[in-house]
Amino acid sequence: MKVHNFSAGPSILPDFTVEKTAEAIKNFAGTGLSVMEVSHRSKEFVAVMDEAIALFKELLNIPEGYSVLFVGGGASTQFCMIPYNLMGKKAAYLNTGAWANKAQKEANLFGEVVEVASSKETVYNYIPKGYEIPADADYFHITTNNTIYGTEIKEDMDVNVPLVADMSSDIFSRPVDVSKYALIYGGAQKNLAPAGVTFVIVKDEILGKVDRQIPTMLDYRTHIKGESMFNTPPVVPVFAALQTLKWIKEQGGVAAMQKMNEEKAAVLYNEIDRNPMFKGTVVNEEDRSLMNICFVMADEYKELEKEFFAFATERGMSGIKGHRSVGGFRASTYNALPKASVQALVDCMKEFEALHVK
């Protein structure tokens, strides 16, 4: 039986990435050594890092004046690195989910934080709009895709202060106008690589403007100067990230990814809307995520939730259980998930409907 991987993260990777990484774990670049045991200073791995950064810039069409970094610590470390490096006195945050809320909480350690809007009171089931951003804020922070709640900001904002975005779960899922952002960051374990590496895209000119001293490892300039090699980088995840970047390019780039993701999401959302046994959790259609599709049983079928989960699991649907704060189900449809897997889930939902709806 084929297993369909809908896990929210760590999550599905392209077969190409898995196969090439497995090969390199046995014999990296003809060295006779595993990529797990070679020096990160070796010419073979330096070439991997250089190519990964170059391809990152190419696929996202990153303008001059930006640096791409691969660092450790997860996106959660960025929650403090960003205010450490960028906040003089005040920052603005849009609270659209658990991770946005955690980022905002960390920023409170460094200065005044203005929450411009929040959807927390309704369990983050929509993206707030119509808010004002303080003109004197040092930056405005958003989380573009909210994996737990299934909401997504799909357009690049025009704002009057430096824009910072956590794109952990939707990077490379659509074209991005990087010039509109001061900094973009994210954990790689959704759409890029295994857990263990974090990417940062930072506009060089925004750095070095705060008065505070910054610990060496938390200063973006350290990693820019060290070309992501100030300390030992997460070697295997960086190698895997390069393979995924190659795969994305081979598929036609991020525009092709966007087309595929829109098609996959439409198949599942259409079934959720059609099937009387299920309902989506996001209130506004324009806020629905293309990466994490959240749904629950309709009220009259609520008692069948555990039965459907077991039914779907028996048919190879893996990782579809919803986060505890939302309940129900979550199908993560990242770049590497084939459309056939989405169709398999839809067929499963239809089969369950046929058993229970007369």
| pLDDT tens for the chain, residues 1 to 358 | 899 999 999 999 999 999 999 999 999 999 999 999 999 999 999 999 999 999 999 999 999 999 999 999 999 999 999 999 999 999 999 999 999 999 999 999 999 999 999 999 999 999 999 999 999 999 999 999 999 999 999 999 999 999 999 999 999 999 999 999 999 999 999 999 999 999 999 999 999 999 999 999 999 999 999 999 999 999 999 999 999 999 999 999 999 999 999 999 999 999 999 999 999 999 999 999 999 999 999 999 999 999 999 999 999 999 999 999 899 999 999 999 999 999 999 999 999 999 999 8
Residue 75 annotated as lining a ligand binding site: yes
Task: Single out the catalytic residue among 20, 99, 203, 264.
Answer: 99
Tokens matching residue 23: 């090969």
Whether 247 is a known active-site residue: answer no
Q: Which residues share a beta bridge with 143?
A: 166
The three-class DSSP label of residue 113 is strand
Where residue 159 falls (left for φ over 0; alpha for ψ -120 to 50; beta otherwise) is: beta
Helices (H), 108-234: 220-225
Exposed/middle/buried for 88, CB within 10 Å: 0-12, 13-18, 19+? middle
The amino acid occupying position 188 is A
Cβ pair 320, 6 in contact under 8 A: yes
Place of tokens 């039986």: 1
Is 41 labelled a binding residue? yes
Which of 53, 100, 84, 77 is closest to 213 using CA atoms?
84
Tell me whether residue 314 is exposed, middle or buried, using C-beta atoms within 10 angstroms of its C-beta: 0 to 12, 13 to 18, 19 or more.
Answer: exposed
What is the total residue count of the chain? Answer: 358
First-last CA distance in the chain: 29
255 is in an annotated binding site: no
Q: Which two tokens stand for residue 140?
A: 């405005």
- Spatial separation of the C-alpha atoms in residues 280 and 327, rounded to whole Å: 11
As a whole number of angstroms, the distance between CA 143 and CA 146 comes to 7
Q: Is 292 annotated as a binding residue?
A: no
Contact assessment for residue 100 and residue 93, using Cβ atoms and an 8 Å cutoff: yes
Which is nearest to 203 in space by CA: 183, 226, 225? 183
Spans of all domains in the chain: 4-8+253-356, 15-251
Q: Is 99 labelled a binding residue?
A: yes
Q: Please list the residues that pair with 94 across neighbouring strands.
A: 117
Tell me if residue 99 is catalytic.
yes
pTM for this entry = 0.97
| Residue 189 counted as an annotated binding residue | yes
Q: Is 21 annotated as a binding residue?
A: no
Partner residues linked to 292 by β-bridges = 332
Q: Which residues contact 325 (CB under 8 A, 6 or more apart)?
A: 98, 123, 148, 149
d(CA 201, CA 181): 9
Pairwise CA distance, residues 34 & 239, whole Å: 12
Give the active site residue among 20, 138, 170, 190: 190
Torsion of CA 285, 286, 292, 297, to 10 degrees: -10
DSSP for 53-104, please give it: HHHHHHHHTPPTTEEEEEESSHHHHHHHHHHHHH-SSEEEEEE-SHHHHHHH
CATH architecture, range 4-8+253-356: Alpha-Beta Complex (3.90)
Q: Of the residues 138, 166, 170, 287, which is catalytic?
A: 166
Q: Are strands 292-297 and 112-118 parallel, antiparallel or unpaired?
A: unpaired
C-beta of residue 295 within 8 angstroms of C-beta of residue 283: no
The answer regarding whether domain 15-251 maps to CATH 3.60.10.10 reads no
